[in-house]
A and B are shown apart, each in its own frame.
Chain A
Amino acid sequence: DQQVKQNSPSLSVQEGRISILNCDYTHSMFGYFLWYKKYPAEGPTFLISISSIKDKNEDGRFTVFLNKSAKHLSLHIVPSQPGDSAVYFCAASGTSGSARQLTFGSGTQLTVLP
């Protein structure tokens, strides 16, 4: 059973518009959520994170929103740029007594069209 789900395998957005990537999770005990970006032939790169005690975290063009009641988080990228085209992974930590283990979603391929 997937504890972290990204139900959209792909998303296409026009340059300059907003990209919204979604993630759902099942465990209420997750304490920390992260987004990673991955380009082909490279390892995932940390993008932004949010603690479960917050509902929003912003860093430049990137904002992560957390809705604990719905067990849902989203990543907003505004404005989207062609260089943002990559696979985005949602990850969660803090289950099974270990704050360091990350559980990853399956990823969403974002394509930003020029």
Chain B
Amino acid sequence: DAGVIQSPRHEVTEMGQEVTLRCKPISGHNSLFWYRQTMMRGLELLIYFNNNVPIDDSGMPEDRFSAKMPNASFSTLKIQPSEPRDSAVYFCASSPRGAAAETQYFGPGTRLLVL
């Protein structure tokens, strides 16, 4: 079975450019999460969706960040305009419904560097 798929795996961009990160959750999972990992703040939850609907976006750092989930098999995290402090590893995770709902399965991450 394919796990969570993220693209690109690496992204280098210049300050002010738009960045779009992509995620395909595990088929049949109904919750999707976006995390950011930095040395200073560790793993932080940015936003999560349940049945394609955003439930909690309180972790989104500012208006430059936006996330969408147009269908059950695809989500994007967009940063516009990007800034050097956005440099981090961004993880997408998904979880199934039911008794195992607390267990999240992570993708390999996108390493973003904003110059």
Are A and B co-members of a single complex? yes
A residues with CB within 8 A of B: 32, 34, 36, 41-46, 49, 89, 93-94, 98-107
CB of B107 within 8 Å of the partner chain: yes
Inter-chain pairs besides A43-B91, A45-B106, A102-B102, 20 sampled, C-beta below 8 Å: A36-B106, A41-B109, A42-B109, A43-B4, A43-B106, A44-B43, A46-B104, A46-B105, A49-B103, A98-B55, A99-B101, A100-B50, A100-B101, A100-B102, A101-B48, A102-B33, A102-B104, A105-B42, A106-B42, A107-B42
Instruction: Tell me, rounded to whole Å, the shortest Cβ–Cβ distance linking B102 to chain A.
Output: 5
- Tell me the interface secondary structure of chain B in the complex: strand
Which of A43, A98, A102 is in CB contact (< 8 Å) with B107?
A43
CB of B56 within 8 Å of the partner chain: yes
| B33 proximity list for chain A (CB < 8 A) | 102
B residues with CB within 8 A of A: 4, 31, 33, 42-43, 45, 48, 50, 55-56, 91, 93, 95, 101-109
A93 touching B42 by the CB < 8 A rule? Answer: no
Tell me the complex Cα distance, A104–B103, Å. 13
| A34 proximity list for chain B (CB < 8 A) | 102-103
B48 touching A100 by the CB < 8 A rule? Answer: yes
Which of A49, A89, A100 is in CB contact (< 8 Å) with B31?
A100
| B31 proximity list for chain A (CB < 8 A) | 100
Q: Which chain A residue shows the least CB distance to B50?
A: A100
| A93 proximity list for chain B (CB < 8 A) | 102
